[in-house]
Amino acid sequence: MPLTNIIQLGIKELRGLLRDPMMLALIIYAFTLSIYTASKAMPETLNRAAIAVVDEDQSPISSRIITAFNPPYFSIPKLINQSEMDRRMDAGLDTFALDIPPNFQRDLLANKSPTIQLNVDATRMSQAFSGSGYIQSIVTSEINEFLQHYRAASTLPIELAQRARFNPTLNKSWFSAINNVINSITMLSIVLTGAALIREREHGTIEHLLVMPVTPFEIMASKIWSMGLVVLIASAFSLVVVIQGWLAVPVQGSLTLFLFGATLHLFATTCMGIFLATMAGTMPQFGLLLMLVLLPLQALSGSMTPRESMPEIIQNIMLAAPNTHFVMLAQSILFRGAGLDVVWPQLLALIVIGSVLFFLSLRRFRQFLR
């Protein structure tokens, strides 16, 4: 019976995976520690940025400016002289160096519009761009308060009532953690399926299968369901235990609907893994080919940056990739609590793309076995 053969061959694949400690370690890491570090590695705001100040004025206003830089946004300012500024920037000791010129307070009170120089180490991009705005705001605030001789909150003629939907605390780790689960599903489904096929070819077990009463369709289908099942169980564990439990990130939508969408996505990506493995032939070649395919898939799918920010031609091309639709589906369900009435176009797209990849992979797999 074909179904019996597919089940038995799939069980054989699972046993082979259990005997591969490196693959098991990769699965455990990708769905636990990798997600935790992705959510915690990037600070949500500017965090203890190194700043140095050259105070050539030695006035009350320069002292006010220096003491305004405090943790947690900035480290305690390091007072240096002008000859040290370039050397410290070259050595990477300071991200920001503020130079307050001589006679700054006198020129300020005389309405001469003095200039403060801010040197920024732009190689530290995440801190440089946001930190420059923070510093400008702090310096402007201190100067205004000094000139007005009192500290008061500024009032605007209108009030902007902000309501942050789906992430009321604007917590960046929520977005990073869930997106990393989405990326891990795509990566591992391709890696596990492709590696399983290449491992059989390198060990010579694929020839043993060919003399048995099994067809290429049954061999390929067994790898798809077994490796897909492993990734599906790992992703469900990650969402429930790591995301909701360990990181305390609320999941808005239906996990059942998400796992159904993940199943369709796994069908497409496991077929892609088999296709890449038949193109490569050896494990080193598969690794190189995987980098060429996986990096653009993940970078342009919308998980790292919104698709709306990309050129229109890239958006249209990436509609042929399964993980583009999966990212849209997963973010709609997990972030915004969308239901089947919202995500059915993505589910339909995954079915179509998965079917095309399955037939292409099966055709290539039959040629691979000859």
The yes-or-no verdict on residue 291 having pLDDT over 90 is: no
Torsion angle of alpha carbons 297, 299, 302, 304, nearest 10°? 140
With a threshold of 0.85, does the pTM exceed it?
no
Judge whether residue 195 has pLDDT over 80.
yes
C-alpha torsion sign, points 207, 213, 219, 222? negative
Strand 96-100 relative to strand 117-120: parallel, antiparallel, unpaired? antiparallel
**pLDDT of residue 259 exceeding 60:** yes
Q: Looking at the predicted structure, is the pLDDT value of residue 266 above 80?
A: yes
DSSP string, 84-139: HHHHHHHTT--SEEEEE-TTHHHHHHTT-----EEEE-TTSHHHHHHHHHHHHHHH
Q: Is the domain covering 51-148 a CATH 3.40.1710.10 domain?
A: yes
Structure tokens at 327: 């990212």
124-144, pLDDT tens digit by residue? Answer: 776 777 888 889 889 988 888
3-class secondary-structure state, position 43: coil
The boundaries of every CATH 3.40.1710.10 domain in the chain are 51-148
Which pLDDT value is given to residue 347?
A: 93
> How far is Cα 275 from Cα 262, in angstroms, rounded to an integer?
20
Q: Which of 196, 218, 330 is nearest to 263 (CA)?
A: 330
Q: What is the mean pLDDT of residues 262-269?
A: 93
Residue whose C-alpha is closest to residue 142's, from 81, 59, 71, 52 = 59
* Residues 6+ away with beta carbon under 8 Å from 34: 180, 184
Is 304 a residue whose pLDDT tops 80?
A: no
Contact status, residue 31 vs residue 238, Cβ threshold 8 Å: yes
Q: Is the pLDDT of residue 228 over 80?
A: yes
pLDDT score for 83: 86
Asked if 348 and 257 touch (Cβ cutoff 8 Å), the reply is: no
Tell me the C-alpha distance between 240 and 247, whole Å. Answer: 10
DSSP letter string, 139-164? HHHHHHHHHHTS------SS------
167 within 8 A of 153, measured Cβ to Cβ:
no
With CA atoms as reference, report the closest residue to 294 among 170, 190, 157, 175: 190
Using an 8 Å Cβ cutoff, are 176 and 331 in contact? no
Look at residue 166 in the predicted model and tell me its pLDDT. 62
Q: Which residues contact 310 (CB under 8 A, 6 or more apart)?
A: 300, 318
Stretch among 114-123, 126-135, 317-326 having the lowest mean pLDDT: 126-135
239 close to 333: Cβ distance less than 8 angstroms? no
Task: Measure the CA–CA gap between 244 and 241, rounded to whole angstroms.
Answer: 6
SS3 237: helix
Using pLDDT thresholds of 50, 70 and 90, give the confidence band for residue 97: very high
Asked whether the CA dihedral 290, 296, 300, 304 is positive or negative, the reply is positive
Residue 267 has pLDDT above 90, yes or no: yes
